């Protein structure tokens, strides 16, 4: 089974960036651990700070992969174009945010892409990615709606 994690802007700075909010671990350090926990999943990873590059990748994988774990960073709160890309594809998308966006500034409370995702995991730190992958693995056998 093929799943991709797509991280948006500034998530390349995990481990250095606002560590009180996002933690001290870089994604590059976390990814091998995650792959070790899901040996039966082909787990791809893509990060970009550019909206267009994120859309290109969502489109490229979104008709073939078994699932996408998407943390679009700040674009979650601003980008109708990324929301449209998520709506357009067939692969199920689980939205992840490391921080509890609902406990932060008001502008982080709304995410344009959430209605097009199968679900959202917020505030559980890096573990949110593992929970999303676990859901996508199980979801193959248990569709949310017919």
Question: For residues 115 and 143, which CB has a smaller minimum distance to ligand DQA in the complex?
Answer: 115
The residue length of the chain stands at: 146
E runs forming strands in the chain: 2-7, 42-47, 67-71, 93-97, 119-122
22 tagged catalytic = yes
Question: For residues 2 and 10, which CB has a smaller minimum distance to ligand DQA in the complex?
Answer: 10
- Residues 30, 75, 97, 135: which is the catalytic one? 97
**Minimal distance, residue 108 CB to ligand DQA, in Å:** 4
**Minimal distance, residue 138 CB to ligand DQA, in Å:** 23
Is 99:69 a contact under the CB 8 Å cutoff? no
**Minimal distance, residue 133 CB to ligand DQA, in Å:** 16
Binding footprint of ligand DQA on the chain (CB under 6 A): 10, 71, 73-74, 76, 97-99, 101, 108
How many angstroms separate the CA atoms of 96 and 69, rounded?
7
Lookup: tokens for 17: 């960036």
Q: State the Rg of the chain over Cα.
A: 14
97 tagged catalytic = yes
Active site residues: 22, 97
């Amino acid at each position: 089974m093929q799943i991709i994690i797509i991280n948006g802007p500034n998530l390349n700075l995990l481990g250095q960036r606002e560590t009180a909010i996002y933690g001290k671990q870089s994604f590059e350090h976390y990814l091998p651990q995650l792959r070790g926990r899901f040996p039966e999943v082909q787990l791809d990873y893509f990060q970009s700070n550019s909206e267009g590059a994120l859309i290109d990748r969502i489109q490229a994988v979104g008709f073939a992969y078994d699932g996408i774990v998407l943390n679009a960073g700040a674009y979650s709160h601003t980008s109708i174009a990324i929301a449209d890309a998520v709506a357009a594809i067939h692969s199920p998308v689980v939205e992840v945010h490391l921080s509890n966006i609902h406990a932060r500034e008001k502008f982080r409370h709304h995410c344009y892409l959430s209605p097009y995702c199968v679900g959202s995991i917020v505030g559980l730190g890096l573990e949110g990615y593992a929970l999303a992958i676990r859901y996508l693995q199980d979801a193959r056998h248990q569709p949310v709606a017919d």
